[in-house]
A and B are shown apart, each in its own frame.
With several copies, the nearest count.
Chain A
Amino acid sequence: MSLEAVFADEPAFVPYLAAGDPDYDSSIEYVEALARGGADVIELGLPFSEPIAEGPTIQEAVVRSLEAGMTPERFFEFVEDLDVDVPLVCMTYYNLIYQYGTEEGPRPFVERAAEVGIQGFVVPDLPAEEAGPLREACDEFGLDLVFIVAPTTEGERLERMMEHVSGYVYVQARLGVTGARDDVSDHTEQSLARLAQWDVPKAVGFGIKTGDHAERIVSAGADGIIVGSALVDIIAEGHENGDDVADVAERLETKARELKDGALRGAQNRPQPEGK
């Protein structure tokens, strides 16, 4: 299924985990649990040592994963080892993409990603302006390049950017870095309104924590919700307490279901979509 297609029928639940957090084997279990819980797309983080767009929760996940030996090559093996039936998106920073392989530039990384079945990329430190080479490689291998639209992305800049979008747009719900919050930002509605004219799936992320959040965001018009820190928190807590991997996986699955259900509720009380 193409990334875009995922969003066609019902609101999509897009969880994020850092691959290899807190270790390779547990992480496999966790990702599979999310799939069981109703994930429609999974964003798999390939950890970078300088995660400038992440808040403390994901920073720590990155550290755990790196300390457990994660590398780009291991990441690809990880993807191959996964037994899930949903599209996978790789979320990482540009330097890792750039450095992979012998040849300079992003092509080898994209080629290998395509080989293991990855369907797209999110690269938080790669604005549209710098995305040319990666875009080209993605086109060559038929992968999507997902862009983030920030609350500050407006006017001409937004228009230019929307020309490059493929798969879905990652709508950043508020300024700042990743991290679960108790509020759902006003920015969300404004951003969705700004994007209304483009016919592309809009997945909202940054700060979503509960089924209620999910519901509100979808009812505000989102085509999907992206949830990272709220899930990583569960892993961090389980890791700290030395809990059984199976127990943690179950908690993740439950959380996933809560979020997916919230999204579904949101779709029901959503004002009728105009154009679609």
Chain B
Amino acid sequence: MSSESTFGDYGGQYVPEALMPAIEELTDAYERYVLDNEDGFMDEFRERLADFGGRPTPLQYAEQLSERYDTDVYLKREDLVHGGAHKLNNALGQVLLAKYMGKERIIAETGAGQHGTATAMACAHLGMPCEIYMGETDIARQRPNVFRMRINGAEVNPVTTGRGTLKEAISETMRDWATTVETTHYVIGSVVGPAPFPAMVRDFQAVISEEAREQAREKIGSLPDSVLACAGGGSNTMGTFANFVEDENVGLYAVEAGGSSLSVDEEKGVAPNSASLSTGDEGVLHGARTKLLQDSHGQIMESHSVSAGLDYAGVGPELAHLVDEERVQAVNVDDDAALDAFHRLSQEEGIIPALESSHALGFLHEHHDELGDSVVVNVSGRGDKDLETVIEETSKRDLESAPDLSVFREVGGGL
């Protein structure tokens, strides 16, 4: 672990001056508590991750997929973390850090609602007041997560600007932070934002690969040939890769959302995908220099993915750097393939994956014969939050693996 503020050309701290002192304070806290385990911070963090969060999560051998693909497939089960996704690893770390720093209030943005619920849970657990910013569009498509945040005692502030999704929610949270920075910590939900966030969030998420690497050694007897993770902002990705980066023989694949197409509509400022690593270019967004979906003038594009949690125009700077360095392969999978993979895992392995994670599984499906003899796929979250979306999107398509979903109309009324 180190406190890099840049990764090659990426990273940095492109934020309003008003936030800089807080960011310096945070950098200092990060170095002391996280990197140097001052006051036993990391010990407490790890203990809470275990007892409250349910870690370690299993590395499960997937029998049916292994047989189907003639490759040993192992699933890292982050869907079993409390709250249903890897997001708690980071949220718990940051809220605990804010407590050590003497902050009195937590704010966070959320897209799919997973980071928001994770933050709300961590705040309830640690007794911190919490407000979550969430775009109106996302609120409408992720209702159960809105309920969960409120039930955990968090305020949910609807964001009505722009298209009402993650990008706008982040901007709005930064505005709150610029006003309340003295007492408030902003829990960013991925490896994005100004330094030290990208490195810090990676370090909190690195527990995934710390466990997985050890578990792989035990189960496979060696390191895996390939490791796959979906990439939105890239926190589950960096968490899953971190401890494998030095293992040069392990192939690392960051699977982005290909959406409905990789091409863009400059006129409307819309990219029908969220593949910033694969198709974006360098720019500055939300505090960091990284790869972005932007038009030729530098205006940020509306991204799109069937999976709300991947629906973001940027990506973590360290991940962008690792892709430039060719240590990580940036690949992508479209909406259809992700939905298909969702159904496949649900039916064949009895695990309902998040639509985000389904992208990684979709890549496995399409490229299993190029990934070597053993593959670790990070199942970053569970798909309970996605049921309504999946039913709706499946009914619009002719998918290979989808079950007949007509029962949903027969019983208990329509959608």
Does chain A touch chain B in the assembled complex, meaning CB atoms less than 8 Å apart?
yes
* Residues of chain A at the chain B interface (Cβ within 8 Å): 48-56, 59, 63, 66, 71-73, 93-96, 98-100, 104, 124-130, 147-154, 157, 161, 172, 175-177
Which chain A positions have C-beta within 8 A of B294?
A: 95, 99
Which chain A positions have C-beta within 8 A of B286?
A: 50, 52
Rounded to whole Å, the gap between the CB of A116 and the closest CB of chain B is 17
Task: Please report the C-alpha to C-alpha distance between residue A66 and residue B300 in the assembled complex, in whole angstroms.
Answer: 12
Which of B15, B20, B171, B299 contacts A153 (CB under 8 A)? Answer: B20
Interface: B174 (CB within 8 A): yes
Rounded to whole Å, the gap between the CB of B161 and the closest CB of chain A is 6
0/1 interface trace, chain B 287-326, chain A, CB 8 Å (1 if under): 1000010101111100000000000000000000000000
Q: Report whether B171 and A157 are in contact in the complex, using a CB–CB cutoff of 8 Å.
A: no
Q: Report whether A55 and B175 are in contact in the complex, using a CB–CB cutoff of 8 Å.
A: yes
Instruction: For the A-B complex with A52-B16, A153-B18 known, give 10 more contacts whose Cβ atoms are closer than 8 Å.
Output: A50-B171, A50-B300, A52-B175, A53-B16, A125-B284, A125-B287, A127-B15, A150-B20, A152-B181, A177-B175
Task: Please report the C-alpha to C-alpha distance between residue A100 and residue B295 in the assembled complex, in whole angstroms.
Answer: 11
* Residues of chain B at the chain A interface (Cβ within 8 Å): 12-22, 24, 161-162, 167, 171, 174-175, 178-182, 269, 282-287, 292, 294, 296-300
Task: Please report the C-alpha to C-alpha distance between residue A157 and residue B17 in the assembled complex, in whole angstroms.
Answer: 10
Which chain A positions have C-beta within 8 A of B19?
A: 152
Which of B12, B171, B182, B298 contacts A95 (CB under 8 A)? Answer: B298
Q: Report whether A130 and B14 are in contact in the complex, using a CB–CB cutoff of 8 Å.
A: yes
Best-buried of B15, B162, B287, B294 by chain A (most CB within 10 Å):
B15
Task: Please report the C-alpha to C-alpha distance between residue A50 and residue B175 in the assembled complex, in whole angstroms.
Answer: 11
Q: Report whether A175 and B298 are in contact in the complex, using a CB–CB cutoff of 8 Å.
A: no
Q: Report whether A152 and B171 are in contact in the complex, using a CB–CB cutoff of 8 Å.
A: no
Which of A71, A124, A126, A148 contacts B297 (CB under 8 A)? Answer: A71
Rounded to whole Å, the gap between the CB of B291 and the closest CB of chain A is 12
Task: Please report the C-alpha to C-alpha distance between residue A151 and residue B21 in the assembled complex, in whole angstroms.
Answer: 10
Q: Report whether B13 and A130 are in contact in the complex, using a CB–CB cutoff of 8 Å.
A: yes
Best-buried of B16, B282, B285 by chain A (most CB within 10 Å):
B16
Which chain B positions have C-beta within 8 A of A124?
A: 16-17
Which of A51, A71, A72, A151 contacts B171 (CB under 8 A)? Answer: A51
Which chain A positions have C-beta within 8 A of B162?
A: 49, 63
Q: Report whether A175 and B18 are in contact in the complex, using a CB–CB cutoff of 8 Å.
A: yes
Which chain B positions have C-beta within 8 A of A53?
A: 16, 175, 178
Q: Report whether B18 and A151 are in contact in the complex, using a CB–CB cutoff of 8 Å.
A: yes
Rounded to whole Å, the gap between the CB of B273 and the closest CB of chain A is 18
Task: Please report the C-alpha to C-alpha distance between residue A49 and residue B178 in the assembled complex, in whole angstroms.
Answer: 18
Best-buried of A50, A73, A149, A172 by chain B (most CB within 10 Å):
A50
Which chain B positions have C-beta within 8 A of A72?
A: 297-298
**Closest B-chain residue to A153, C-beta based?**
B17
Best-buried of B15, B174, B180, B299 by chain A (most CB within 10 Å):
B299
**Closest B-chain residue to A150, C-beta based?**
B18
Q: Report whether B16 and A150 are in contact in the complex, using a CB–CB cutoff of 8 Å.
A: yes
Task: Please report the C-alpha to C-alpha distance between residue A173 and residue B205 in the assembled complex, in whole angstroms.
Answer: 38
A125 touching B179 in the complex, CB below 8 Å, given contacts A49-B300, A96-B298: no
Rounded to whole Å, the gap between the CB of B355 and the closest CB of chain A is 25
Which of A48, A99, A100, A152 contacts B18 (CB under 8 A)? Answer: A152
**Closest B-chain residue to A126, C-beta based?**
B14
Q: Report whether B298 and A149 are in contact in the complex, using a CB–CB cutoff of 8 Å.
A: no
Which chain B positions have C-beta within 8 A of A150?
A: 16-18, 20-21
**Closest A-chain residue to B314, C-beta based?**
A50
Interface pairs (17), CB distance under 8 Å: A50-B286, A52-B16, A52-B175, A72-B298, A95-B298, A95-B300, A96-B298, A124-B16, A127-B14, A129-B20, A147-B17, A153-B18, A153-B21, A157-B24, A172-B17, A177-B175, A177-B179
Which chain B positions have C-beta within 8 A of A96?
A: 297-299
Rounded to whole Å, the gap between the CB of B80 and the closest CB of chain A is 35
Task: Please report the C-alpha to C-alpha distance between residue A147 and residue B20 in the assembled complex, in whole angstroms.
Answer: 13
Which chain B positions have C-beta within 8 A of A93?
A: 284
Q: Report whether A175 and B20 are in contact in the complex, using a CB–CB cutoff of 8 Å.
A: no
Nearest 6 Cβ contacts at the A-B interface: A99-B298, A150-B18, A176-B179, A95-B284, A152-B21, A49-B299
Q: Report whether A95 and B285 are in contact in the complex, using a CB–CB cutoff of 8 Å.
A: yes
